């Protein structure tokens, strides 16, 4: 089956069930990264992911990595670490710096998928109030964090990073604690062993899309995402 190219209308996407099995979830190519198109995609369970030099590629994998807020797995050693380490937690105070941290090449990698084009697109979503950062600070330095997009009562996680021990896990724990009772799901897109170790589970795409349809027009309290400090996830 030929991969469809997106039309000019930024709100039109193929049905996610038409995504390829190999590579898992590849649905379409083309279009742009305008806020209208991005938000239309996330509302349908679709996200962009492509390397520099490639056309914009759109995905909806099956199964999907997802977590219920409050169901994070934290080992005893991680809990002890978070209790003794003077990390500070903040929301939306350094979104651009979190993007830069997530864009830095990982160990063994030469480049990054989070290109300047992608960073500019998510920064615009942040300015519009749709994208948010969870930040971990130590002695005045940003040492870890994550960012994602809110679609109703679903948080669509995009990427995380760390520059200090357990800092990305700390950010994920803070997100769980903050969203418990307010969001139904944390979307983690594609599973990997690291996410599995934190309690993220595979969910059939059909189930994810059903939950998304039920929750995308509901709202989380605006106060959840106010710029400022968050408590330690073990005391919130």
**108, part of any domain:** yes
Which residue blocks in the chain are alpha helix, DSSP H?
A: 35-43, 76-84, 95-103, 116-127, 167-179, 193-197, 205-215
Q: In the prediction, which pLDDT does 108 show?
A: 54
- By CB atoms closer than 10 A (0-12, 13-18, 19+), residue 183 is buried
Q: What is the pLDDT of residue 2?
A: 80
Q: Are both 134 and 216 inside the same structural domain?
A: yes
Per the structure, the count of domains in the chain is: 2
Q: Are 186 and 67 in contact (CB under 8 A)?
A: yes
CA distance 126 to 36: 13
Q: Answer yes or no: is 87 within a domain.
A: yes
The two three-digit tokens of residue 149, written as one number: 């997009």
Q: Is residue 186 part of a domain?
A: yes
What mean pLDDT comes out for the span 61-81? 93
Q: Could you tell me if residue 201 is inside a domain? A: yes
Residues 214, 175, single domain; the answer is yes
- Report the Cα–Cα distance between both ends of the chain, in Å, rounded: 50
Specify whether 53 is located in the same domain as 103: no
108 and 47 share one domain? no
Q: Label residue 234 by pLDDT band (50, 70, 90).
A: confident
87: CATH:
3.40.630.70
**Do 106 and 198 fall into the same domain?**
yes
* 101 lies in some domain: yes
Check whether residue 30 and residue 121 sit in a common domain. no
Same domain, 208 and 103: yes
pLDDT at 57 over 60: yes
pTM confidence score: 0.95
pLDDT at position 88 over 90: yes
Say if residue 148 is in the same domain as residue 210: yes
User: How confident is the model at residue 235, as a pLDDT?
Assistant: 62
Domain extent for 30 = 16-61
SS3 95: helix
- Same domain for 109 and 39: no
CATH of the domain at 21: 3.30.70.3550
The answer to whether residue 1 is domain-embedded is: no
Whether residue 193 is found in the same domain as residue 180 = yes
* pLDDT tops 80 at residue 78: yes
Residue 235 lies in a domain: no
- Digit-coded pLDDT (tens) for 105-143: 766 555 567 899 999 999 999 999 999 999 999 999 999
Q: What is the pLDDT of residues 9-51, one digit of tens each?
A: 999 999 999 999 999 999 999 999 999 999 999 999 999 999 8
């Amino acid at each position: 089956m030929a991969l469809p190219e997106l039309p000019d209308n930024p709100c039109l996407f193929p049905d996610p069930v038409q995504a390829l099995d190999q590579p898992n979830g590849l649905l379409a190519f083309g279009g742009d990264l305008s806020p209208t198109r991005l938000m239309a995609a996330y509302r349908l369970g679709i996200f962009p992911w492509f390397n520099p030099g490639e056309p914009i590629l759109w995905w909806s994998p099956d199964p999907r990595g997802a977590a219920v807020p409050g169901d994070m797995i934290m080992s005893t050693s991680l809990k002890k670490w978070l209790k003794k380490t003077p990390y500070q937690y903040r929301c939306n105070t350094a979104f651009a710096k979190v993007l830069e941290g997530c864009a830095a090449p990982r160990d063994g990698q030469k480049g990054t998928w989070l290109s300047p084009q992608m960073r500019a697109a998510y920064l615009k979503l942040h300015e519009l109030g749709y994208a948010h950062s969870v930040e971990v600070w130590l002695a005045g330095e940003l040492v870890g964090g994550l960012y994602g997009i809110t679609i109703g009562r679903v948080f669509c996680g995009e990427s995380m990073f760390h520059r200090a021990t357990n800092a990305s896990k700390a950010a994920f724990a803070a997100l769980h604690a903050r969203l418990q009772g307010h969001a139904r799901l944390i979307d983690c897109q594609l599973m990997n062993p690291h996410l599995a170790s934190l309690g993220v589970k595979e969910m059939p795409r059909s189930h994810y899309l059903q939950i998304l349809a039920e929750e995308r027009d509901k709202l989380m309290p605006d106060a959840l995402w106010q710029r400022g400090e968050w408590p330690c996830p073990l005391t919130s």
